[in-house]
Amino acid sequence: MSKIASIFRSTLCLATVLTVALPVSQAAALECADKEISARGPTFTPSPETSMEAAKTEWLKKATEIFSDATMETAKDPKIMCASQGLYSNCTITAVPCGATPAKPKAN
C-alpha cells in the first residue's frame, strides 16, 4: 500500500509542478502595452454583473486593437470601478493589455 501511496504522491507533485510552470512560461511570452486603457459600459444596467460584463466587452474591443489575443486574464494591473445610481450601475475597467500577438493595423 505504501508503494501505491508513494507513486500517487509523486504523480500529484509532478502534476502540481506542471500546472504552475505552464502559466509562468506563457506569461513570459507575453508583451504588454506601454500604457493602460480604460473602458466603461455603454449604459447603466440593473445588474452589477451585467455592468461588469459590459465594461469587459468594451475594454476587450480596445485591447484587441493592440494585441489580437488580449484577454482580461492576461491584463496587467486590472482595476474595476462601478458607479451606482439607485438600483442601476455602470462599471469602468482600466488595465494594461498584454498578449503574444500584436494586432494588425487597420486599413484607412
Q: What is the average pLDDT score of the chain?
A: 79
In order, the DSSP letters of the chain are -HHHHHHHHHHHHHHHHHHHHHHHHHHHH-EE-SS-EEEE-SS-BS-HHHHHHHHHHHHHHHHTTTBTT--TTT-EEEEEEEEEETTEEEEEEEEE-EESSBPPPPP-
Full-model pTM? 0.69
- pLDDT band at 4; cut points 50, 70, 90: low
Instruction: Inform me whether the pLDDT recorded for 41 exceeds 60.
Output: yes
CA torsion 38→92→52→59, rounded to 10°? -10
Residue range 52-94, pLDDT digits in tens: 999 999 999 999 999 999 999 999 999 999 999 989 999 999 9
